[in-house]
């Protein structure tokens, strides 16, 4: 076969690519368990996004399968016992606040397509799909089956792929278009847990009382909004002025209003992926930093103090768990969910990313003892183990060669704190679709993908599928 110009093949399909991507992005596929049904176990939007991809595949001649409305696949190739798997996901995190465009409009301007999911992970999933589509339409003989697996709960509990692999075969090798180029050969372990403070309703009449505190929607997101309600027995104007000075000194946006004998403090931060808390501005921690200096009731002050301790402490220092290795870098902790209501227990939800060589069993023991010393209990701890593929593995070497062919740049191997579906595979890595030097806007307001980058990624995926699955 003559040498294939993969980028030229992508360019021929650009208009249809963008049309299919826009349709996918316009589906609000945020987890909605409150309105779940048997037909839509994670909410109708998530179901619709899964079905969109299956319908697309069926229209283009792929063999498709819906696996319990929690996942599905699109498959090509009939020869060979081996299976190449590509894992993408159709769900997205909540859109958050402060967008300059409708987050589900798929607005294209200045060469970028703006929408929740454009970079995580609908844009890359469509790129991988079109990579398969190109190989299929060129009629290239394959010695492996190729399957694009669509998950639906990647941003939360991975119930989609868990259900899928209970019923379907595990690929012999695979890649995941849900991270960075060149190649992610190592991913940190991921653990979510709650720090729980028991209820204490006792107060005195002359105290400032923290009635409620709320910040964050997901463990794996840096919260971009926080709100606290404080009841007080005296004039509030001085406290409001104090808060305004705090905001001004820290160059933050927020406000303080009064309602029924309470001051309502609000603060706007900046959302970011919880894998690197330093990329965001944690609204909950910043609001706690202000509140910790007020003479609050004992229970309220304790809760606020526990949050404020995380200020500029994102590497596990709060629990004496700081750790780093040469393969995957630092252990990180993101305070993603904070909830307190007077007379009820307080909860602080933490997302921890730990290095490949970190001893998690010892880490759990350290965490539990440190929390107990603070009067807290650890609940609902989950643990997704790290993944690591050796540098000389044939899968790695093939993907490196493809990346270098298409970009002319060295295929460096990277390690990340983000968790991708690569850890759901027995033998797989994350492979794109964000190129070096691009801003990481996943999980942020005005999330976007550069259109030319998605097209380039499609060419890379097409060649990768060809190289990994072609007949000898």
Which pLDDT score, from 0 to 100, does residue 1 have?
A: 61
- Residue 283: burial class (beta carbons within 10 Å; 0-12, 13-18, 19+): buried
* Rounded distance between C-alpha atoms, residue 403 and residue 411, angstroms: 6
Contacts 24+ apart (CB under 8 A), 372-381: 374/306, 375/197, 375/198, 375/302, 376/195, 376/196, 376/197, 376/306, 377/195, 377/196, 377/198, 378/193, 378/194, 378/195, 378/196, 379/193, 379/194, 379/196, 380/192, 380/193, 380/194, 381/191, 381/192, 381/193
Residues acting as catalytic residues = 91, 154
Bridge partners (DSSP) of residue 86 are 148, 175
Give the chain's radius of gyration (CA, Å).
24
Q: Whose structure tokens read 């910790």?
A: 292
Which pLDDT score, from 0 to 100, does residue 419 have?
A: 78
What is the three-class DSSP state of 438? coil
Which pLDDT score, from 0 to 100, does residue 201 have?
A: 59
Encoded tokens for 120 = 């995580």
- Domains along the chain with CATH numbers: 6-187+386-469 (3.40.630.10), 190-379 (3.30.70.360)
* Rounded distance between C-alpha atoms, residue 8 and residue 340, angstroms: 56
pLDDT tens by residue, the chain, 472 residues: 679 999 999 999 999 999 999 999 999 999 999 999 999 999 999 999 999 999 999 999 999 999 999 999 999 998 778 999 999 999 999 998 999 999 999 999 999 999 999 999 999 999 999 999 999 999 999 999 999 999 999 998 899 999 999 999 999 999 999 999 999 999 999 999 999 999 875 556 567 999 999 999 899 899 999 999 999 776 678 899 999 999 999 999 999 999 888 999 999 999 998 999 999 999 999 999 999 999 999 999 999 999 999 999 999 999 999 999 999 999 999 999 999 999 999 999 999 999 999 999 999 999 999 999 999 999 999 998 999 999 999 999 999 999 999 999 999 999 988 778 999 999 999 999 999 999 989 989 999 999 999 999 999 999 999 999 997 7
What is the three-class DSSP state of 252? coil
Q: Whose structure tokens read 């404080």?
A: 230
Which pLDDT score, from 0 to 100, does residue 237 have?
A: 80
Q: How many residues does the chain have?
A: 472
Phi, psi (degrees; rounded to nearest 5) at 179: -160, -125
Q: Which of 263, 290, 138 is nearest to 208 (CA)?
A: 263
Q: Which of 345, 312, 302 is nearest to 197 (CA)?
A: 345
Which pLDDT score, from 0 to 100, does residue 202 have?
A: 59
Bridge partners (DSSP) of residue 262 are 231, 259
* Rounded distance between C-alpha atoms, residue 85 and residue 82, angstroms: 10
What is the three-class DSSP state of 455? helix
Whether residue 29 contacts residue 117, with contact meaning beta carbons closer than 8 Å, is answered with yes
């Amino acid at each position: 076969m003559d040498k294939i110009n993969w980028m030229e093949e992508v360019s021929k399909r650009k208009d249809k690519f963008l049309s299919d991507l826009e349709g996918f992005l316009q589906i609000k596929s945020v987890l909605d368990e409150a309105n779940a049904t048997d037909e839509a176990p994670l909410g109708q939007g998530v179901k619709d996004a899964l079905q969109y991809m299956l319908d697309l595949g069926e229209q283009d001649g792929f063999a498709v399968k819906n696996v319990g409305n929690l996942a599905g696949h699109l498959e090509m190739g009939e020869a060979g016992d081996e299976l190449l798997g590509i894992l993408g996901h159709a769900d997205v995190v909540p859109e958050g606040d402060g967008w300059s465009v409708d987050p589900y409009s798929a607005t294209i301007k200045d060469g970028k397509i703006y929408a929740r999911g454009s970079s995580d992970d609908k844009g890359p999933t469509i790129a991988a799909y079109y990579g398969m589509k190109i190989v299929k339409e060129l009629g290239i003989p394959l010695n492996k089956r190729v399957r694009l697996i669509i998950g639906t709960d990647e941003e939360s509990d991975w119930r989609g792929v868990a259900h899928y692999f209970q019923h379907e075969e595990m690929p012999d090798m695979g890649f995941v278009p849900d991270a960075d180029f060149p190649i992610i050969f190592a991913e940190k372990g991921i653990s979510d847990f709650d720090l729980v403070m028991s209820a204490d309703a006792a107060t005195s009449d002359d105290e400032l009382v923290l009635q409620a505190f709320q910040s964050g929607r997901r463990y794996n997101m840096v919260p971009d909004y926080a709100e606290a309600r404080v009841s007080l027995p005296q004039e509030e104007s001085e406290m409001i002025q104090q808060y305004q000075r705090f905001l001004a000194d820290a160059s933050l946006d927020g406000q303080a209003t009064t309602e029924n004998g309470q001051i309502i403090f609000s603060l706007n931060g900046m959302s970011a992926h919880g894998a690197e808390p330093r990329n965001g501005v944690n609204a909950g921690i910043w609001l706690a930093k202000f509140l910790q200096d007020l003479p609050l009731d004992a229970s309220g002050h304790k809760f606020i103090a526990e949050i404020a301790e995380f200020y500029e402490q994102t590497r596990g220092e709060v629990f004496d768990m700081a750790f780093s290795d040469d393969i995957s870098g630092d252990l990180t902790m993101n305070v993603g969910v904070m909830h307190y209501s007077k007379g009820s227990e307080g909860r602080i939800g933490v997302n921890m990313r730990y290095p490949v060589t970190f001893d998690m069993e010892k880490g759990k023991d350290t965490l539990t003892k440190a929390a107990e010393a603070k009067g807290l209990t650890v609940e609902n701890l989950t643990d997704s183990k790290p993944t690591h593929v050796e540098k000389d593995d044939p899968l790695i070497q093939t993907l490196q060669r493809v990346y270098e062919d298409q970009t002319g740049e060295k295929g460096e191997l990277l390690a990340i704190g983000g968790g991708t579906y690569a850890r759901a595979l027995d033998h797989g890595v994350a492979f794109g679709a964000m190129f070096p030097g691009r801003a990481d806007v996943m999980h942020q307001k005005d999330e976007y993908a550069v259109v030319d980058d998605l097209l380039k990624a499609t060419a890379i995926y097409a060649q990768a599928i060809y190289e990994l699955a072609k007949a000898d």
